[in-house]
Amino acid sequence: MGFFLHEIGQKPTLAILTVKDSKRVFRGNLDNFRDLIQTGEQFGVDVYIVTTKDFTLSSPEIYGYRFNDETKKWSRELVPAPQVVYNRIPYRKMEMKPEVQQTIQACNRSSSIQLFNPSFFNKWTLFGWLNSAKESKPYMPDTQQLNSANDLTQLLRKHAVLYLKPVKGKAGRGIMRIDRLTTANGRRNYRLSRQENKKMAYSYHNSTDELWNEWNKHRGTHDYIVQQGIALTRYKERAYDLRALVQKTSKGVWSVSGIGARVAGRASITTHVPRGGSIDEPRKLLTSAFGATEAKNILTRVRKAAVTLAAQIEKSSGNQLGEMSMDIGVDTAGHIWFFEANSKPMKFDEPKIRQKSLERIIRYSLYLINHGRRR
Ligand SMILES: Nc1ncnc2c1ncn2[C@@H]1O[C@H](COP(=O)(O)OP(=O)(O)O)[C@@H](O)[C@H]1O
Ligand SMILES: [Mg+2]
């Protein structure tokens, strides 16, 4: 039916899927949604918001939200059924609700709808996927599930720095770091660093049992991985890493839409902007560490790595994906490391990347309407 409507002059349709909200109409980054609607207009695509509550597969029209430019308000109205659904449900908990899962699974099975990005990723699952494929394995830091003090002992034998990360974490929340120190009398000593709100908190321990107990005090109910710490390259003594946005093109193939850099705040163990990090230019930072020629070479390798990693993630997940952001580290020797991928990328503040990201969502949706896989 989508095809038929298209033929008689109806615009292609793209629904941004999110969840209802008691206070604010619906959840998500509303500015982002408005930008997508506007970009859709430029490409002749009818873009609107649908909440999981309103979503149904069986009718030619459903309730969606459009933005009224005159009143500057969102209005709920009947819209034509979507041909493409772009999942932007912003929280894991909401995405896991049975009624939401039902909607997502129904879209996944539907032959008239193309759904992309059906779920969040989990850091341990990502590691399993990427470490078992030979194309992506070289980018993977040594990583284990954190299940016992022995996991710490094992990795501390091999690595002087470890990162402890919640498998479902984001924005640096819950991340801890262990540094193996050598004291004046030659005894083993460990420092555990935690981000506590805006500040860092440190504690010192003599054994991995003590480290384990300290971690237990702060982990809450969250599952963790423990990972080899990468000696990130620095700029003015601050560590930085790269954020690549990888998206499918109008031809349905993976491509890097842009790469940004995030420089860590002083003494911070992560590079997140809300934790004192700042945005900078990858080429400038890498040139200062490696020289212009090698910087260019590294960025070429990062692009290649990001595309390889995205393709492998999509393959292993068994789902149709259209975009992801990726946190990538470059160490002092110029080696490239994968930290994580996010299937609900945050808005990039770099204007060029931002513009490209919006266009690619629309162009990829058009690609899906014309060539998407059918089941
Ligand atoms: N193994 C590691 N070695 C060095 N730095 C790391 C490591 N893992 C994470 N980091 C730093 O912490 C940041 C956050 O880690 P990430 O895995 O992206 O978790 P989150 O989901 O909280 O963003 C990274 O961007 C990087 O700066
Ligand atoms: Mg991250």
Euclidean distance between CA atoms 171 and 274, whole angstroms? 8
For residue 116, report the distance from its CA to the centre of ligand 2, in Å. 21
First to last CA, the chain: 16
Contacts of 247 (CB under 8 A, 6+ apart): 254, 255, 257, 322, 323, 357, 360, 361, 364
In the block, tokens 């390889």 appear at 308
State both tokens at 105: 């699974």
Strands 13-18 and 46-51, by their bridges, are: parallel
In the block, tokens 């979507």 appear at 82
pLDDT in tens, 215-228: 999 999 999 999 99
**20 vs 289: which has the higher pLDDT:** 289
Strand spans (E) along 172-231: 176-182, 188-196, 199-205, 224-228
Count Cβ atoms within 10 A of the Cβ of residue 157 and give its class: 0-12 exposed, 13-18 middle, 19 or more buried: exposed
- Atom 24 of ligand 1, nearest CA residue: 270
CA distance to 52, 88, 247, 340, 343, per residue, from 322 (Å):
20, 12, 6, 17, 9
Q: According to the model, what pLDDT value does residue 310 have?
A: 98
Q: Which of 14-28, 152-166, 221-235 has the lowest mean pLDDT?
A: 14-28
Q: According to the model, what pLDDT value does residue 9 have?
A: 66
For residue 45, report the distance from its CA to the centre of ligand 2, in Å. 32
Q: According to the model, what pLDDT value does residue 267 have?
A: 81
Which atom number of ligand 1 is nearest to the Cα of residue 123?
17
Euclidean distance between CA atoms 106 and 217, whole angstroms? 41
Ligand 1 pocket test: pick from 223, 270, 279, 302 the residue with the most ligand atoms within 8 Å of its Cβ: 270
Ligand that lies nearest to the alpha carbon of residue 340, given by its number in the listed order: 1
**What SS3 state is found at 362?**
helix
Q: According to the model, what pLDDT value does residue 8 have?
A: 56
High-pLDDT (> 90) share of the chain, %: 81
Q: According to the model, what pLDDT value does residue 375 have?
A: 47
Q: For residue 271, name the pLDDT band (cuts at 50, 70, 90).
A: confident
Q: According to the model, what pLDDT value does residue 1 have?
A: 43
- Atom 12 of ligand 1, nearest CA residue: 270
For residue 11, report the distance from its CA to the centre of ligand 1, in Å. 42
pLDDT in tens, 333-347: 999 999 999 999 999
Q: According to the model, what pLDDT value does residue 305 have?
A: 98
Asked if residue 54 has its Cβ within 6 Å of ligand 1, the reply is: no
- Atom 20 of ligand 1, nearest CA residue: 170
Euclidean distance between CA atoms 117 and 128, whole angstroms? 19
Q: For residue 2, name the pLDDT band (cuts at 50, 70, 90).
A: very low
* pLDDT at residue 138 tops 50: yes
High-pLDDT (> 70) share of the chain, %: 96
Q: According to the model, what pLDDT value does residue 374 have?
A: 54
Ligand that lies nearest to the alpha carbon of residue 275, given by its number in the listed order: 1
Contacts of 146 (CB under 8 A, 6+ apart): 152, 164, 215, 223, 224, 225, 226
Task: Name the average pLDDT for the chain.
Answer: 93
- Atom 26 of ligand 1, nearest CA residue: 270
Architecture of domain 123-140+231-343: 2-Layer Sandwich (3.30)
For residue 235, report the distance from its CA to the centre of ligand 1, in Å. 17
What are the structural domain ranges in the chain? Answer: 2-117, 123-140+231-343, 143-228
- Atom 22 of ligand 1, nearest CA residue: 172
Ligand 1 pocket test: pick from 241, 339, 346 the residue with the most ligand atoms within 8 Å of its Cβ: 339
For residue 61, report the distance from its CA to the centre of ligand 1, in Å. 44
Asked if residue 169 has its Cβ within 6 Å of ligand 1, the reply is: yes
Ligand that lies nearest to the alpha carbon of residue 193, given by its number in the listed order: 1
Euclidean distance between CA atoms 100 and 259, whole angstroms? 33
* pLDDT at residue 372 tops 90: no
Q: For residue 196, name the pLDDT band (cuts at 50, 70, 90).
A: confident
State both tokens at 345: 């990328």
Euclidean distance between CA atoms 258 and 306, whole angstroms? 11
Asked if residue 256 has its Cβ within 6 Å of ligand 1, the reply is: no
Asked if residue 230 has its Cβ within 6 Å of ligand 1, the reply is: yes
Look at residues 257, 53, 227 and name the one whose alpha carbon lies nearest to residue 151. 227
Asked if residue 339 has its Cβ within 6 Å of ligand 1, the reply is: yes
Contacts of 125 (CB under 8 A, 6+ apart): 167
> Helices in 115-197 by DSSP H: which ranges?
123-131, 149-158
Give the type of residue at 93. K
Look at residues 104, 135, 97, 122 and name the one whose alpha carbon lies nearest to residue 343. 122
Question: Which range has highest mean pLDDT (14-23, 96-105, 131-140)?
Answer: 131-140
Euclidean distance between CA atoms 107 and 127, whole angstroms? 27
In the block, tokens 């003594």 appear at 237
Crossing angle between the packed helical segments 292-317 and 282-290, to the nearest 10 degrees: 120
- Atom 15 of ligand 1, nearest CA residue: 172
Fold of 2-117: Rossmann fold (3.40.50)
Work out the average pLDDT over 273-300: 94
Work out the average pLDDT over 179-185: 83
Work out the average pLDDT over 40-56: 95
**30 vs 337: which has the higher pLDDT:** 337
* pLDDT at residue 155 tops 80: yes
Euclidean distance between CA atoms 277 and 240, whole angstroms? 9
Question: Taking the mean position of all CA atoms in its chain, how far away is CA 337?
Answer: 15
Euclidean distance between CA atoms 7 and 285, whole angstroms? 51
* pLDDT at residue 373 tops 70: no
Contact predicate 28/90, CB 8 Å: yes
In the block, tokens 């894991």 appear at 92
| Vertex 348: Cα angle to 346 and 351 (nearest 5) | 155
Asked if residue 327 has its Cβ within 6 Å of ligand 1, the reply is: yes
Asked if residue 227 has its Cβ within 6 Å of ligand 1, the reply is: yes
Asked if residue 171 has its Cβ within 6 Å of ligand 1, the reply is: yes
Give the type of residue at 310. A
